[in-house]
Amino acid sequence: MKPSSQSEVTSSVVSSVTPTENPVPNSALSNLTRRELIIGGGKVAVAAAVTSLFSPFNIYVKAATPKSLSFWQFYGPGGGSKMQDQWFQDMVKSWNSSHDVKVDLLYVPNQEYMNGSKLQTAFASGQGPDIFIISPGDFLRYYNGGVLVDLSQYMEDAAKKDFFDTVMETRVVDGKIYGLPMEVEPMAMYYSHKAFTDAKLSEADVPKSWDQLIEVSKKLTKKNQFGCLFETGPGYYQNFTWYPFLWQGGGDMVTPEGNKSAFNSPGAAQALKFWQDTIKQNVAPRNELGGGGGDVVGNMVAGYCAIQNLGIWGVSALREGAKGFEYGVFPCPTPPNGKPKSVLGGWSFVANAKSKDPETAAKFCVWALGSMSDDSIGRVVDWCIKAKSDISPRKSALDKATQLGGYSDGAMKVFKDEVFPTGRGEPRVPPEVYKAVSDAIQACQLGGANPEQQAAEASQNIDAYLAGYSGAPLK
């Protein structure tokens, strides 16, 4: 039967349902006209729309006692490295078993965490994580945004002194600690034994100067292989890998006071020219395989390059991803009259000052990495020599890791004994300063621009920005 009106439809539907099946009284629906239904429905829709429109303003209501804190990072659960994933899960399990306020891990893929918008949009909408990890390159963004908690108020003096000064330099403002490093990651050069043997080179040919590196790379360059590889993609990481070459010749980004540019210098220009020369002489590629210049398995192990500029994390990457691959490590070569220098990277635990419970978030960071308890020190040791391959940021943990044989031979020994002592903390600069330097590197390395001119232009841009800068000092 084709119903002739909505009221008839409603009536017929309602009448076909037995009273026990229908919790709504019959009269309520059967008395509705089509017009009433439309108008009523419209009101509900408008009410729903208005409610949803203003709902963002309701989410700022603070919960009385949070039951859990979120911890965003790019290791686990479900990360690429089982051991690192397990380390994070064990740490959180240990905390959760002895504390009322629990911690939940949230894994964000590495690329999304570093170059994506997840963290930024979360903070912009007031939904940032309670605990997260940052590198020194990003420190000022968060510190100047007022979202970092002073962790030193929860730390013992002995623990504060246990961290290396060079490592803490870029995490401290006015004597207060705003980030606790879990690792120290110096940069060096890795080389493939097979590539050296194939080119009839030996350990004695390992380059010590920039000129030697280019000469050796020429011998290693073949039809399907580049002699050496430096990062080519623009971004924080490329700047990070370039800093040692800038510092080796006495160059710097800003003055020691941090209020003026120091980039227009011979040291900067020669470092820009060195990377340019590797491209001009066809010994280094203009782009990389795999995950980029930080991926040793995707590049050196794959035979794409014979020498790769890489951080200490490459040791664990090779241990897990290319067992049996024979390689060596040497400090970054230096320019004429230059000094050996490396950059000390690494990530820190930080607590969100706008968290539901910033105090507990800060206490978690200190409990995990910054207390004098055996657990805390042992956790740093495990991370640096078992889960990953890093230099410990704490003296006590470095001693213990050394006793356990974590730095007794091979690449780890070179990193600890030869590279780490020449290291300087990764600079903390605002994004505008990093971008000016990044543009100069890109223009010279891949655009073939004049290094002196680019150093001068970048310096002008840095000065123009710093003239109006207010925030924590640059370092």
Partner 1 sequence: MRTLLDAPSKVEKRPVMGRSGPRLKRSQREALAAYLFILPDALGLAIFVALPMLFSLSLGFFSVNGFGGFRFVGLANYQRMLIDPLFRQSLWVTFVYVLILVPALYVAGLGLALLVNRPMPFVGVFRSMFFVPNVVSLVVVALTWQVMLVDKVGFINRIFEFFGVSGYSWLGDPNITLYSILFVTVWFLMGYYMIIFLSGLQEIPREYYDAARIDGAGPAATFFRITLPLLRPTSFFVLLVSLVSAVSGSQAFDLIYIMTRGGPDNSTSLVIFYIYQQAFQFNNYGYAAAMASFLVLILLIVTFILFAVTKGGRFHFT
Which residue type does 265 have?
S
Contact between 197 and partner 1 by CB under 8 A: the answer reads no
Contact between 33 and partner 1 by CB under 8 A: the answer reads yes
Contact status, residue 355 vs residue 443, Cβ threshold 8 Å: no
Looking at 71-79, 138-146, 181-189, 310-318, which segment touches partner 1 (CB under 8 A)?
138-146
Task: Count the Cβ atoms, other than its own, within 10 Å of residue 361.
Answer: 27
Contact between 421 and partner 1 by CB under 8 A: the answer reads no
Instruction: State how far Cα 285 lies from the chain centre.
Output: 24
Strand partners, 310: 188
Candidates 273, 341, 435, 475; binder of partner 1 (CB under 8 A) is 435
Looking at 4-12, 190-198, 250-258, 355-363, which segment touches partner 1 (CB under 8 A)?
4-12
233-252: which residues touch partner 1 (CB under 8 A)?
233-235
Task: Please report how close the Cβ of residue 378 comes to partner 1 at its closest, in angstroms.
Answer: 35
Tokens of 400: 């213990």
Which residue type does 232 have?
T
Mark residues 79-118: x for contact with partner 1 by CB under 8 A, - for none.
------------------------------------xxx-
Report the distance separating Cα 308 and Cα 475, nearest Å.
28
Contact between 439 and partner 1 by CB under 8 A: the answer reads yes
Query: Distances in Å between the alpha carbon of 370 and those of 26, 144, 445?
Result: 67, 23, 40
Contact between 443 and partner 1 by CB under 8 A: the answer reads yes
Report the distance separating Cα 154 and Cα 230, nearest Å.
41
In the chain, % helix, strand, coil (3-state, to 5) comes to 50, 15, 35
Task: Please report how close the Cβ of residue 376 comes to partner 1 at its closest, in angstroms.
Answer: 30
Q: Which helix (H) or strand (E) holds 189?
A: strand 185-192
Cα atoms found within 13 Å of the Cα of residue 128, Cβ hemisphere only:
24
Residue 212, classified by CB atoms within 10 Å of its CB into exposed (0-12), middle (13-18) or buried (19+), is middle
Contact between 453 and partner 1 by CB under 8 A: the answer reads no
Site size toward partner 1 (CB under 8 A) is 56
300-339: which residues touch partner 1 (CB under 8 A)?
304
Contact between 217 and partner 1 by CB under 8 A: the answer reads no
Chain contacts with partner 1 (rule: CB under 8 A): 4-5, 7, 33-36, 38-40, 42, 45-46, 49, 52-53, 115-117, 120-121, 123-124, 126, 141-142, 144-147, 223-226, 232-235, 282, 285-289, 304, 354, 431-432, 435, 439, 442-443, 445-447, 449
